[in-house]
Amino acid sequence: MKSTSLPLESHVGCISAAADVIGQKWTALILRDLHAEPKGFCELERTVEGINPRTLSQRLDELEQHGIIEKQSCAGAPNRCEYHLTDKGHDLVPILRHMAEWGEKYPATVQA
């Protein structure tokens, strides 16, 4: 089926740049869980079921380097910190919503 709509990218590389940030396994789920409120490492470890601590740590570091999340120390608990979305991170929320809508429309099926 041929599409006559406008191109998806204003210039080549836009989709690639976004995929570099959110395309790795677990990243979208971490962002999903930080969308509503800041969370600590252990809380994310529980809510992002199946992720190992080393991978979670790597993904959080990468997201922080990209300016998608910020790490903030908790007052009164010197060894505890929380992660929250930056404005740049909140700009990804519509993408996550579209992913959720697509996932609802086309639920995963297991093929034997």
Residue 3 falls inside a structural domain: no
Residue 76 falls inside a structural domain: yes
Sheet containing 69-74: order of strands: 39-40, 77-85, 69-74
How long is the chain?
Answer: 112
pTM, full prediction: 0.85
Q: How many structural domains compose the chain?
A: 1
Residue 10 falls inside a structural domain: no
pLDDT of residue 87: 97
Within 8 A by CB and 6+ apart from 100, the residues are none
pLDDT of residue 2: 61
The C-alpha atoms of residue 15 and residue 13 are separated, in whole angstroms, by 6
pLDDT of residue 80: 85
Residue 32 falls inside a structural domain: yes
> Cα–Cα–Cα angle for 31, 71, 20, nearest 5°?
45
pLDDT tens per residue, the chain (112 residues)? 565 677 888 888 888 989 999 999 999 999 999 999 999 999 999 999 999 999 999 999 999 999 999 999 877 777 789 999 999 999 999 999 999 999 999 988 755 5
Residue 7 falls inside a structural domain: no
Residue 58 falls inside a structural domain: yes
Residue 9 falls inside a structural domain: no
Phi-psi region of 76 (alpha: psi -120 to 50; beta: other; left: phi over 0): left
Domain that holds residue 76: 20-104
